[in-house]
Structure 1
Amino acid sequence: MMFPSYVNLLVFSCLLTLIAGGNIEQTALRGVQTSLLSMYVPSKPFTCLDRSMTIPYEFVNDDYCDCRDGSDEPGTSACPNGRFFCENKGYVGTLIPSHFVGDGICDCCDGSDEYETNVVCNNTCFELAQRNQAEREAKRALHEAGVAKKKEIIAHSIAIKSERQKRLKELENEIQVAEKLKRQAEAPEKEAKDKYQKLWEEQRAKHEAIVRNREIREMFADLDTNGDSLVSIDELQKHTELDLDSENEFTNEEVRTILGADSVNLNDFNTTVFDQISNSYKKLPEPPRPTPEPTPLPEPSQGSFATPSPPLETSDDEQNKPSHRHEEDHENSQHSSSIPTSLEHEKHIHDDTPPEYDDETKRLIQIADHARNEFNAIEGKILNIKQQIEDLKKQSGVDTGPQGEYSAFIDQCYDYEEREYTYRVCMFKDAKQIPKGGGSEVTIGYWDSWSGPTENKYLRMKYANGATCWNGPPRSLTVTFRCGIEHKAVDVREPSRCEYAMIFETPSACDETVAGTTSHSTHVEF
């Protein structure tokens, strides 16, 4: 029973001898990372890695914790915060909590954490290395295939933008040509129309002047009750409808203000009075005339007979003198006859209907109409393309990655089906939760921003400010991208209340660096 203790004591003595001789075996430094071996020099005192204290080297791995960071016991379980390094030759070196050392469980694939126990640990590092190699090769192949699709997406995005820009230039050139032809055709049309418009307006102005003069004469004659060719205060004062202050008397001063004098002649009436009173003026009702009683004819004497009275004589000048009305009609007739018959002036002069154009003007209008129709046809296309370009500019305003690798997401929606809900994310727009059993869909977020890590922000996007949870915060969704051959959502969860997380596979997230790695296994130390 004492034999094992004696052996251990002998080994310990040999170890001390080796330490004293300045030569230490690797086993004395179990649990130390290769990168930190230079800190553990047997011939020098050991300084804790947190610089909290310096101790004799003999205190290293003596199964007593001296350093606060546990760095003096890398190969024992003495320090609760210590870390033991598994070298795992042929595989990946790892760090485990030091209290796993000597606990009877093989944590290192090479079994080095159980060096003080009788537990036999099978070395699984080779198997793990093979499995890791297979996984890395599968990952590399996945990224390689995904990168190929990613390049197609980028090339397609570039081609579409280039084609749209080319088409836009072509259509812009077409519309410039059409605008030039339209202007050339409209110039003579406008000239001819302007000529007819000017003539029509001139004739209408003349007619309006004639009508106005007639109204002025008629009103003046109506007011000039005593026939002295003047309108006086007394004559105008009878028309109380012209009194602006109808509650009071229509005074002489008020009438004089309208006339501008005690009386006015026709010319002054035309220039100063007519426009003031024309809208309110009303003719006075004519007083009723008594019906004269018939006068009895005298009894003719016997033998006499009635001799008819001679007709009123009219001088030759009066007979040949046309009436005022006849003069006006004659003047209008001459005035109208000066207008080309193609204008049909008498038909339109009394209303606002423009005159009909002559054949030459109609021909110019037809030419201009044809040019306008061609222009409008092309302009319709231009408006359509401009709308497309406007949409493209809006899309260009969206950050679709350094090379536009996420441009395939524009205007695309993707669903993920689970037991109770369908989750639908419309990229760069919004995300919804749709109940399968009926009921209203719920917006769980609107596109907000890319939110990935600093080294690659395009690995995650955020949808925020969704519908507010009952007695809770607004809903939100985080979409995390990972490499895949297709665009598809593969998982949706709610890790915390009203905060949703989606995993989305896409070629756009595949990494050229991973795709280009070699398939040879390498030793990696953490």
Structure 2
Amino acid sequence: MFVRSIALILLLFIHDAFCHNNKNILRGIQSSLLSMYIPSKPFTCLDGTISIPFEFVNDDYCDCRDGSDEPGTSACPNGQFFCENKGYVGITIPSHFVGDGVCDCCDGSDEYENEIICNNTCFELAKKTNEERERRRLLHEQGVAKKNEMIAKAGSIRIERKNRLEELEEQLKRLETDLNEKEELKRQAEEPETAHKDKHQKAWEEERAIRELARRDEQMQDMFNDLDTNQDKLVSIKELQVHTELDNDKENDFTDEEVKTILGADSVTLDEFNSTVFEQISNSYQKITQSVTNEQVSTTESNKATPEPSTEEDHGISDEEKREHSVDDDAHDKNDMDDNLDDIDTKDDIDQPTSLDHTKHVHDDTAPDFDDETKKFIQIADQARNDFKDAEKKVRDVKKEIEDLQKRAEMNLGEHDEFSIMYDQCYDYEEREYTYRVCMFKSAVQIPKGGGSEVTIGYWESWGSEPNKYSVMKYTNGVSCWNGPSRSLTIHLRCGIENRAIDVREPTKCEYAMIFETPAVCDENIGAKLSHQDTHTEF
């Protein structure tokens, strides 16, 4: 019994000594802050509010408002625990993660009070981190080499562009001089051409006037003869009165007074008709259409009404068959009468003259072809005009090329013109439903794979903002979405050894985001930093 009591006392002594030693171990403190935790001195909270005896540090009770007295326990809700993670990267975690049964530190130091065993994974993490760091270093190293090639090509492009601009400006001077000469030759060639054309046109107009006058006289004579039904060389009121189409007042009869107003007298001679009447009635006048005579209609009706006598062949035919024959005969007679009427109407239509306007239209003449001399001048002028147009096109094309080169020269294509070789180049990204195509510094479109028209999702606007402005490209003012904003595209550039789009998303309606890899954004400083980076650097 005594031995057991001694053993128990010894065990309690060892436990107290162990706990005392554990308590004195400073846990969860960054090396840069160790000078603030001196066991021989009172501890001052890191926010400077109060000082406490050092034995209050890590006693599992929160004395400081900022939780700095409990770096190694979970007592303070706002406390921070530092994982040293030897061989890897030290990190800071919320102190309430300490002792929660989950290994948050790769060295397992956050679970020092628990029986749980945390495997030290710092070496494996360090290995992976170093591999990733090396991969990124090589990527930037290779990318920077390609970027330097792009910058060198940009320099060549600038020189070529400068030389080309100088060449085009000299060429433009020569072309403008040639254009002025061609314009003068055209003017000289068009003068005799115009004179001969005007002469030809004047002669034709005079000839046509004579023809029109003769045609008018002929029509006037025909109209007078048609109206002079009694052939007494006069057109009287009664002769004109039958032409009711000349009556302006359609509601009443064509009275003697109305006819006399047109004639100006009871009757007119040919000369009087020509000078006073013809122009009044020429556009409305029509010959009287010959109608079907009463005799013709009566004869047709009589033939239709009178039955033919029965013959011997009718004997033995049933009433029903007779009725069928009767219907057929009636239809045949009706068709015969319609044919007669059609013949009469057709003849009348052929003989019936139309109004003067229509007659003029029918008899309008086409101007005769130009004579050989005029054709020769036209041919010379055409050649001069063609030469001028060709010279004008050359000037226009050169001006357009100069404008494009100047616009490109003024465009911001990177700090060292590294994006110069990408200017106007197009790159595609394929996904399930669409092909996205971006043409650098121009526009971006969305092309449906199932057919249909492409949709512009933005036009080049600008780079991003500082400090990394050349890592973002903005395309705006695309086609408006239905019930939404205008489409836009933001391109996020990241280092790569070739120019390619690797992803497109639509995080917000009608606002697209693309990830684009290019050597143009690879940074030699990042490569150098990665190659010398200390594996213990705290993130």
TM-score (norm 2): 0.56
- For structure 1, which segment, 113-122 or 259-268, has the greater mean C-alpha deviation from structure 2 after superposition? 113-122
**C-alpha separation in 2, matches of 1:445 and 1:94:** 48
The answer as to 2:141 corresponding to 1:141 is: yes
Amino acid of the residue matched to residue 79 of structure 1? Answer: C
**C-alpha separation in 2, matches of 1:481 and 1:516:** 20
Amino acid of the residue matched to residue 94 of structure 2? Answer: P
Residue in structure 2 matched with residue 97 of structure 1 by the alignment: 94
**C-alpha separation in 1, matches of 2:465 and 2:37:** 33
Which of 374, 378, 382 aligns to 1:365? It is 378
Residue in structure 1 matched with residue 532 of structure 2 by the alignment: 520
Please state how far the C-alpha of 1:367 moved relative to its aligned partner: 1.3
Secondary structure of 1:253's match? helix
Amino acid of the residue matched to residue 212 of structure 1? Answer: R
Q: Does the 8 Å CA contact 1:106/1:121 hold for their aligned counterparts?
A: no
Which of 434, 437, 443 aligns to 1:426? It is 437
Residues 370 and 123 from structure 1, CA distance in 2 versus in 1: closer, same or farther, beyond 3 angstroms?
A: closer
The answer as to 2:201 corresponding to 1:197 is: yes
Residues 355 and 135 from structure 1, CA distance in 2 versus in 1: closer, same or farther, beyond 3 angstroms?
A: closer
Q: Structure 1: which 5+ runs fail to align?
A: 16-26, 287-348, 435-439, 469-474
Q: Does the 8 Å CA contact 2:106/2:121 hold for their aligned counterparts?
A: no
Which of 46, 61, 68 aligns to 1:64? It is 61
Please state how far the C-alpha of 1:10 moved relative to its aligned partner: 7.4
Residues 128 and 76 from structure 1, CA distance in 2 versus in 1: closer, same or farther, beyond 3 angstroms?
A: farther
Which of 278, 281, 287 aligns to 1:274? It is 278
Q: Map residues 99-498 of structure 1 onto 2, 5 A cutoff.
A: 99=96, 107=105, 134-135=134-135, 137-151=137-151, 173=176, 178-216=182-220, 219-220=223-224, 233-244=237-248, 248-259=252-263, 269-270=273-274, 272-282=276-286, 351-359=365-373, 361-377=374-390, 405=419, 408=422, 410=424, 412-415=426-429, 424-427=435-438, 428-431=443-446, 440=450, 447-448=457-458, 455=466, 456=468, 458-459=471-472, 480-490=492-502
Q: Does the 8 Å CA contact 1:430/1:443 hold for their aligned counterparts?
A: no
Residue in structure 2 matched with residue 31 of structure 1 by the alignment: 29
Please state how far the C-alpha of 1:81 moved relative to its aligned partner: 4.8
Please state how far the C-alpha of 1:141 moved relative to its aligned partner: 0.7
Q: Structure 2: which 5+ runs fail to align?
A: 1-10, 291-362
**C-alpha separation in 1, matches of 2:289 and 2:503:** 97
**C-alpha separation in 1, matches of 2:31 and 2:129:** 20
Residues 126 and 277 from structure 1, CA distance in 2 versus in 1: closer, same or farther, beyond 3 angstroms?
A: closer
Identity of counterpart residues, as a percentage? Answer: 43
TM-score (norm 1): 0.57
**C-alpha separation in 2, matches of 1:411 and 1:151:** 16
Q: Does the 8 Å CA contact 1:200/1:355 hold for their aligned counterparts?
A: no
Residues 240 and 100 from structure 1, CA distance in 2 versus in 1: closer, same or farther, beyond 3 angstroms?
A: closer
Residues 210 and 62 from structure 1, CA distance in 2 versus in 1: closer, same or farther, beyond 3 angstroms?
A: same
Residue in structure 1 matched with residue 313 of structure 2 by the alignment: none
Please state how far the C-alpha of 1:180 moved relative to its aligned partner: 4.8
Please state how far the C-alpha of 1:277 moved relative to its aligned partner: 1.0
Please state how far the C-alpha of 1:197 moved relative to its aligned partner: 1.1
Q: CA offsets per residue over residues 241-272 of structure 1, 9 Å max, x none?
A: 42345674221232234345666676764454
**C-alpha separation in 1, matches of 2:157 and 2:208:** 64
Residues 116 and 146 from structure 1, CA distance in 2 versus in 1: closer, same or farther, beyond 3 angstroms?
A: farther
Amino acid of the residue matched to residue 284 of structure 2? Answer: S
Secondary structure of 1:78's match? coil
Residue in structure 1 matched with residue 307 of structure 2 by the alignment: none
